[in-house]
Each structure stands twice: as C-alpha cells, then as structure tokens.
Amino acid sequence: MLRHGLQMARGLCQLLSDKFSVGLHRNIMKHLLPINATGHAWSPLRNIRAVTQMAPWPFSSSQPRDYSLPNASWSAEMQRLYDQYSSMCEVETEGSEKKKGAWRRLPSYNRTLKYATGGRCLSRMLQAKARLFTRNIEEQGAGFEYVVFINKEEKTCVCVFQAGHLLEGPPGHVHGGAIATIIDSVTGTHATYISGPVMTANLTINYRSPIPLGSVVLVHSALDKVEGRKTFISCQVTSSDGAKLHTEATGLFVSINVSHLFGA
C-alpha cells in the first residue's frame, strides 16, 4: 500500500515539480505525513496542514493506473501523436539524470487526492467511490482517451484526445458537454501547472465545427496572462493535422486556498 501510494504521489508531483524545482515529492510527503515541515518554496498542498493538521494517508490503496499511457483502444493516429510528443519529452537516463526535452507527459489517474474532501464534505462511502469525471468509464476507448503534454519553455499544453462512442451528442459526433469537459480538464491542468491550486471561474466556448465520434483531435492550451489570482488561458481544438478548427475557448482560473473547498 505504501509503495503504491508513493507511486501515485510522485506522479502527481510531476505536474508541478518543474515550477517548484526543489524535489516537490519530498515536500508533499512533508505535508501529508506527520513530520515537521521545514522552510521551503510554496507547495500546492501547504494549506492542507492548516485544514487537517495531520492529514490521513491520502492515496488509494489500490494499484494506481496511469490512464495517460497507451492502451489497446488507441487508434494508430492516437498512438502516432503520442509517440511524436513522447519523443520530444525529457527522459530519465541511467543514474536518474534527466535528458533535457521541452515537453513532459503528465500522468493521469482516476482518483483525486482524498484530501480534497477529507471526509468532511462527503460520506465515507461516497468518498470511497468518487472518481475523476474524465476517467470513470471502465471500458477502454469508450469515453475520454487522452494524454496531456506540457511544454515547460513555451508554457503551453497539448492534449491528444480520442473521443469514444459513449460521448455522442449529435448523431456520430461528440457531445458539446464532452468537448467542454476535455477543454476544462486541459486548461485547468495547465492553469494548475502555472499557478498552483485553481478553480475554473469562467469558460467561454465557441463550437466551430463538429468533432466526429472516434476521431483524434488536438487540444492546444496557451497561457495568455496571469493577473494576481487570475490565470487566463486560451484553447483551440483542432483536427490531428491542425488543418481544421473544431472549437475555440478561453478560460479564467482563480487561485484558491485549499480551505476554499471546505467552505472556510
């Protein structure tokens, strides 16, 4: 259980460890385990201590599966794009030294940390059953198949998204709510990477052309600006070759203190 928890913690930490370049996984452990915190850079989980003091072990005991890795449902085009972006990612070499690469693949799990509700807002039973919205369809390829890559230098994200048959809206095409969901997820992840914990305050979407069910599209996310607690992101969904514009969006993400989720 401990090993699995550590794996998941490390995966989550990858999301933010570039910005806070001080071995964030060690810092997260400081916050989640009952050991004394020492002075260090801001951590997105710092405020958990204020809420829970000594937080319970926050991770699922089941084997964490990284849903952003290829599976049998991925089309050749999905796999090709995955390979293309993966080839531009930094890689761990022998001795754990990292070879420089501008891109990084972000891991993705079907659960969020238990601290998000901490058992305070939800019953234990509901908490145990809670699943990330985009990762809650068990059948591979039926729902959201996606992988997010972030470019640390350009501060952009690209998501390769294959829309499964359970996401139908208009006949043979993807539901607008599913498109909004993947946009919110990608831009929200991007904003979190830039600014730490945020919530979507505003999402404005223009649907330009329908997305065929089963097709693979690219979700491009770009940082427009950061103003105080506000992070502005813009987004385009295009065909996999970039030739066709499907959707445009802008999002406003407001930085929160984690205690915001507890109604404090």
Ligand X SMILES: CCCCCCCCCC(=O)SCCNC(=O)CCNC(=O)[C@H](O)C(C)(C)COP(=O)(O)OP(=O)(O)OC[C@H]1O[C@@H](n2cnc3c(N)ncnc32)[C@H](O)[C@@H]1OP(=O)(O)O
Beta bridge partners of 92: 98
> Max Cα separation, the chain?
57
Of the listed pieces 17-25, 83-91, 160-168, 181-189, which binds ligand X according to CB under 6 A?
Answer: 181-189
Of the candidates 163, 183, 211, 252, which one interacts with ligand X according to CB under 6 A? 252
Of the candidates 192, 215, 221, 236, which one interacts with ligand X according to CB under 6 A? 192
Of the candidates 129, 165, 229, 244, which one interacts with ligand X according to CB under 6 A? 229
Distance separating alpha carbons of residues 128 and 149, to the nearest angstrom: 29
184 is catalytic: yes
Of the listed pieces 92-100, 116-124, 154-162, 183-191, which binds ligand X according to CB under 6 A?
Answer: 183-191
The separation between CA 94 and the C-alpha centre of its own chain, rounded to angstroms, equals 28
- Residue number, 79 or 257, with CB nearest to ligand X: 257
Q: Hey, what are 46's tokens? A: 């710092």
Evaluate whether 50 touches 95 at the Cβ level (below 8 Å).
no
Q: From the DSSP assignment, how many helices (H) and strands (E) are in the chain?
A: 6, 9
- Residue number, 15 or 45, with CB nearest to ligand X: 15
Question: Residue 190: phi, psi to the nearest 5?
Answer: -60, -50
> How many residues of this chain bind ligand X (CB under 6 A)?
17
- Residue number, 95 or 228, with CB nearest to ligand X: 228
Of the candidates 7, 75, 79, 200, which one interacts with ligand X according to CB under 6 A? 200
Of the listed pieces 123-131, 139-147, 152-160, 253-261, which binds ligand X according to CB under 6 A?
Answer: 253-261
SS3 66: coil
- Tell whether residue 68 is a contact of ligand X (CB under 6 A): no
Residues contacting residue 109 through CB under 8 Å, at least 6 positions apart:
8, 11, 12, 64, 65, 66, 67, 132, 135
Of the listed pieces 33-41, 232-240, 242-250, 254-262, which binds ligand X according to CB under 6 A?
Answer: 254-262
* Cβ 95 to ligand X shortest distance, Å: 29
* Cβ 94 to ligand X shortest distance, Å: 30
Q: Which amino acid is at 85?
A: Y
Question: Residue 206: phi, psi to the nearest 5?
Answer: -115, 120
- Tell whether residue 47 is a contact of ligand X (CB under 6 A): no
End-to-end CA distance of the chain: 32
By the criterion CB under 6 A, which residues form the site for ligand X? 15, 184-185, 188-189, 192, 199-202, 228-230, 252, 254, 256, 260
Residue numbers annotated as active site: 184
